[in-house]
Structure 1
Amino acid sequence: MYEDKYIKFYHSKAWKLARKQALARDHYLCQECLRQGIVRTANTVHHIIPIKDDFKKRLKLDNLETICLEHHNQEHREKPSGEKDKYKKLKEKKREVFVFKANPDFKL
């Protein structure tokens, strides 16, 4: 079956190792939030180029980035609404978000 290949991959030792490496490299911070100037913890590792489009890039660290659940759900809008409802409670939980702005009094 088509899906078996992906299920097997996400349970593999190779994926678990690559995932840990990406999380450590990104310091468990959502990279999309950081691009917006927001510091938010995250533990989802996202394939920039989906593995269904290029299975060869499934373990390439330059194709992996840590993102928060909110950004992951935005990236994967194709999931059925039932799947999104499963995460609704998680999204409603208060998250720690730190926004850093430049201090005009600080000089290097």
Structure 2
Amino acid sequence: MLKSCHYCGGIHQRNYKCPSKQQLKRKKESNDLNRFRWSRLWVNKSKWIRQRDKYLCQICLREQYYTQTKYNFNNLEVHHIVPLNEGWDKRLEDSNLITLCAYHHKMADRGEIPRDELAGIVSFIQLN
């Protein structure tokens, strides 16, 4: 059965895919990141990192960078010291992960908390 095409104005078979139709371009990187963030590996690893860090923001615990509460256990997130887009192979390494509150996580993402300082805190945690 033939039908008129909305894309080129011609007439095609019903199951014909017109080359004039725009194809959606998906960002592979963002797709991979979303898939990773919901994977069982990441869920388990983030639970392990929070447990390792005693369910406390490690910056608040050290009373650095405008800390309001020393023992902050609210709104915790696991932060990648080396971002996923720069070091995909380090995404599950314990030495690249740290527990931060949402406030300090945003600061770390903006670069207001230096990476080497975060890495130093993690290495201190791992020694103890």
Normalised by the shorter chain, which TM-score bucket? Answer: 0.5 to 0.7
Larger RCO of the pair (alpha carbons < 8 Å, separation 6+):
1
Runs of 4+ in 1 over 6 A off after TM superposition: none
TM-fit CA distance, 1:41 = 1.0
One-letter amino acid matched to 1:31: Q
* Structure of higher CA gyration radius: 2
TM-score between both structures, scaled by the size of structure 1: 0.66
TM-fit CA distance, 1:40 = 1.1
How many positions carry a matched residue from both structures?
78
> CA-to-partner distance for each residue in 1:27-85, whole Å, 9 max, x for gaps?
1100111222722114200001111110001001111110001101212349xxxxxxx
TM-score between both structures, scaled by the size of structure 2: 0.56
- Percent of pairs identical after alignment? 36
Q: Name whichever structure is richer in helix by fraction.
A: 1
One-letter amino acid matched to 2:86: D
1:14 corresponds in structure 2 to 41
CA distance in structure 1 between the aligned counterparts of 2:35 and 2:43, rounded to whole angstroms: 12
- The answer for unaligned runs of 5 or more in structure 2 is 1-27, 65-69, 112-128
After superposition, the CA RMSD in angstroms is 1.7
